[in-house]
Amino acid sequence: MNRDAIVGLVCLVMSAVLYATLGHIEEPRAAAFPRTIIITMGALSALMLLQHLLFPKPQAKQSPFPWIRVGGLFVIIIVYLALLEVVGFYLASFLFFMTVVCIMGFKRLTVKQTVSWVLGSVIFTAILFILFSVLLEVQTPRGLLI
């Protein structure tokens, strides 16, 4: 079984577990958005698993699992969650997105690429603002720097 099948299966199981936990939300309207995301994640995971079963790739030599990169991303997520209340949701999200993009694309780090990543981070943060503050009217964590 290759990585695609394992990832598809794990995500499918996690989608089922997350969907089952939605029953604990008292307000039905509050569960609509997470339910949509979880169903989408489950459907895409099932498609990934089905693709592996119907069209298997030939086994090639696989590179070792990047434990350092994954561990670093996990640490960044923990720091992001800690910074939410201190600096605010939007600034923390901007910094999180920039850090993740730089770590994932460190080998391609050029001035032009960095400028495009900063622009992408600004657009991503603006989309978050429009989605949460304007469309959904959800209060986000406010920090010192809002």
**For the chain, how many structural domains are there in total?**
2
Residue 129's pLDDT band (boundaries 50, 70, 90)? confident
pLDDT at 78: 92
% of the chain at pLDDT higher than 90: 10
Residue 143 lies in a domain: no
131 and 72 housed in the same domain:
yes
60 pLDDT band, cuts 50/70/90, is low
Mean pLDDT of 112-132: 86
pTM above 0.75, yes or no: no
Structure tokens at 38: 């979880």
pLDDT at residue 139 in the model: 79
Question: Quick check: 144 pLDDT over 80?
Answer: no
Task: Give the pLDDT of residue 145.
Answer: 57
- Distance of alpha carbon 44 from the chain centroid: 14
The pLDDT, as a whole number, for residue 115 is 86
Backbone torsion region of residue 59, taken as left when φ is above 0, otherwise alpha when ψ lies between -120 and 50, otherwise beta: beta
Nearest Cα residue to 47 out of 58, 55, 35: 55
| 17 CB burial (10 A radius; 0-12, 13-18, 19+) | exposed
Q: What domain range includes position 112?
A: 67-135
**Rounded mean pLDDT of 115-128?**
87
Query: Is 126 inside any structural domain?
Result: yes
Which residue, 83, 109, 111, 114, is CA-closest to 96? 83
104, 123 Cβ separation under 8 angstroms: no
Residue 59 falls inside a structural domain: no
In a domain, 78, yes or no: yes
43: pLDDT strictly greater than 90: yes
**Do 33 and 93 fall into the same domain?**
no
How confident is the model over 80-119, as pLDDT tens digits?
888 888 888 888 888 888 888 877 777 777 888 888 888 9
Examine the domain organization and report whether 50 and 91 are in the same domain. no
Q: How far apart are CA 134 and CA 114, in angstroms?
A: 29
Q: How many CB atoms lie within 10 A of CB 81?
A: 12
